[in-house]
Structure 1
């Protein structure tokens, strides 16, 4: 059997979270090869030799058509998700690779995943649903089931694909869709890379849906999963060892709020959340966390508003007129957005104080 690669996708400033994920994978699966798909440019001064990873696969390394304009289309979150299928295709194409696993950088492993790997060995793709049991409380239905309908049935914080023709066909289809439609636009039926995967079980053979409560535990499923135990003895979910937990929305405080709401009085959940808070308490102070995103500003250093990205993405005429949208100065996209843009797109006009 060939090697297993586990990868994540992030910008440079997310490296403290990547470190926690990869450290946990190294602890339980030292045999995995760890790859960071970088939705950014790697600063020459940044030394990653001490980081728990084997390779950085940067955006510049990925064969994406019209990359400069395509990159401009995306916010930092959209780009980090948009490169996932391209990294997956690259890793699956390597001759000695048998399985590729993706984990979001805000995940942590808490035990080995041999049962998950066994399921993948008998499938082509493995997915984890946001929810595996129906909610019974009306507010939880609103919070969790309706949210899953908006954001996608399956949480793409995790994905496993085997190097088989059907697995590669799935990865190529996903990349083809994401190239054009990786945008956070819930009213239009899109949520970055995630909503597309709702179609995967219908389009592809060998798609295995992992319903074990120990995989991808998160605030949205704590209402129907009983997490117990502690750091010393180990956490348990419905009697099974916790496999991996998803600390999504942690920096904003949303994670702690929803964990408290969905698992009130659960001291094990409180301890787990507090552990991650303690582990992350110095993240914002790390120099790497302060590094600006390489694609967040025009060449003159002025930030790129999200409206500029949306308008440029929607208008082929602007894409043809400004092939390098990041350039500022006379005759640039930025100048057009400042002068002509408000006339054609009133939402760009500055709001004047009353």
Structure 2
């Protein structure tokens, strides 16, 4: 990496309390907002004209130069989960309905200009993710993604990238066919493969890849290659409970219900500005006394 930016350096108010309100997936998606917003203001980018974000479980297979061309005419680029209609009832249930629940666009990728509508979007998304980036589907939330369903209606100069070579993933393999050309290039529905988003690399991703890539051998080639790369790069010394913010200061794991309760009650946030602190007078001890 050229630079690593720590979450505590993003200038988030009441950082310990804010962090405690989120589980690991929620916080990893929530920090996109302040990071991209600050990058647009020159905080990390050194005056860059554009910001291109890719999730860490993404692998590049081709040039992203077309993004630069598109950003000359558009301020915001988004990729939908699906760019072709599914046909079978099974694929509709697995993929269309899933996208309806989790968001039309997959925010493992977003590209914006740092001025104009791109900057306005970055400020808006930052504000939404700081306060409402939770996995709470009954409330209409799915971390960072559902918010961006509104983007084409709220902002101008938005381009929906429908090229099938971008953001290939298990949820769209039902409509995307991979081929390896004679020159070794991998194509998707005839277009060059640009990047693959390897979400849910474990059993769920394996099952969906097997289900929708069953007759498309190159899918297995790419999927197996990435799994080998991850295995080779994994530090065996990393403990199972690796997330530092997954436990109180005494090592006791934090229950999701206790995070939700904390974020729902302003009185608890005021009483326990550092809810991770264990011991007498801490949030964990209060939960014990309350029988929670």
Match of residue 138 from structure 1: 89
2:268 is matched with which residue: 318, 322, 325? Answer: 318
Q: Is the 8 A contact 1:123 1:208 kept in 2?
A: yes
Give the structure with the higher percent strand. Answer: 1
- Measure the CA separation in 2 of the matches of 1:296 and 1:219: 28
Q: 1:272 is matched with which residue: 222, 226, 229? A: 222
1:294: how far off?
2.1
Write the distance in 2 (CA, Å) between the matches of 1:65 and 1:208: 33
Q: How many residues align?
A: 289
CA distance in 2, matches of 1:127, 1:256: 26
Query: Counterpart in 2 of 1:55?
Result: 3
- Residue 212 of structure 2 is aligned with which of 253, 262, 281? 262
Q: Which residue of structure 1 aligns with residue 116 of structure 2?
A: 165
Secondary structure of the structure 1 residue equivalent to 2:4: strand
Q: Which residue of 2 aligns with 1:25?
A: none
Q: Deviation string for 1:178-204 (max 9, x for gaps)?
A: 111110011221100110000011011
User: Alpha-carbon deviation of 1:230?
Assistant: 7.3
Which has the higher mean CA deviation after the structures are superposed, 129-138 or 222-231? 222-231
> Distance in 2 between the 1:189 and 1:315 partners?
20
Normalised to the residue count of structure 2, the TM-score between the two structures is 0.95
Alpha-carbon distance between aligned partners in 2 of 1:256 and 1:292, rounded to the nearest angstrom = 23
Match of 1:122 in 2: 73
Are the aligned partners of 1:231 and 1:272 in contact in 2 as well (CA < 8 Å)?
no
Query: Whose relative contact order is higher, 1 or 2, with alpha carbons under 8 Å and at least 6 apart?
Result: 2
Instruction: State the Cα distance separating 1:292 from its structure 2 match.
Output: 2.6
Correspondence 1:1-354 to 2 at 5 A: 53-94=1-42, 95-229=46-180, 233-250=184-201, 252-288=202-238, 292-342=242-292
State the SS of the aligned residue for 2:268: helix
User: Shift of the alpha carbon at 1:139?
Assistant: 0.7
Please state whether the residue corresponding to 2:86 is helix, strand or coil: coil
- Give deviations 1:285-328, integer Å, cap 9, x for gaps: 44357683221111111111111101101111111111111111
Structure 2 equivalent of residue 346 of structure 1: none
Counterpart secondary structure, 2:186:
strand
Displacement of 1:341 after TM fit?
4.3
CA contact (8 A) 2:14 2:273 kept: no
Residues 1:292 and 1:281: Cα distance change in structure 2 (over 3 Å): closer
Q: Find the aligned partners of 1:152 and 1:336 in 2 and give their Cα distance.
A: 37
Change (3 A) 1:231 1:292: farther
The answer (yes or no) to whether the contact 1:130–1:154 under 8 Å persists in 2 is: yes
d(CA) in 1 for partners of 2:213 and 2:274? Answer: 49
Measured in 2, the distance between the counterparts of 1:286 and 1:176 equals 38
Compared with structure 1, are the counterparts of its residues 289 and 239 closer, same or farther at alpha carbon in structure 2 (3 Å cutoff)? farther
Distance across 2 between alignment mates of 1:102 and 1:288 = 26
Change (3 A) 1:329 1:127: same
TM-score of the pair, normalised by structure 1: 0.78
Deviations 1:241-273 (A, max 9, x none): 1000011100x2211210111121211001111
User: 1:63-92 CA distances to partner (integer Å, 9 max, x unpaired)?
Assistant: 212211101101111111000011101211
> Per the alignment, in what secondary structure is the counterpart of residue 217 of structure 1?
coil
Q: Is the 8 A contact 2:33 2:130 kept in 1?
A: no
1:296, 1:332 → 2: CA distance? 16
Q: Residue 52 of structure 2 contacts residue 109 of structure 2 at CA under 8 Å; is this kept in 1?
A: yes
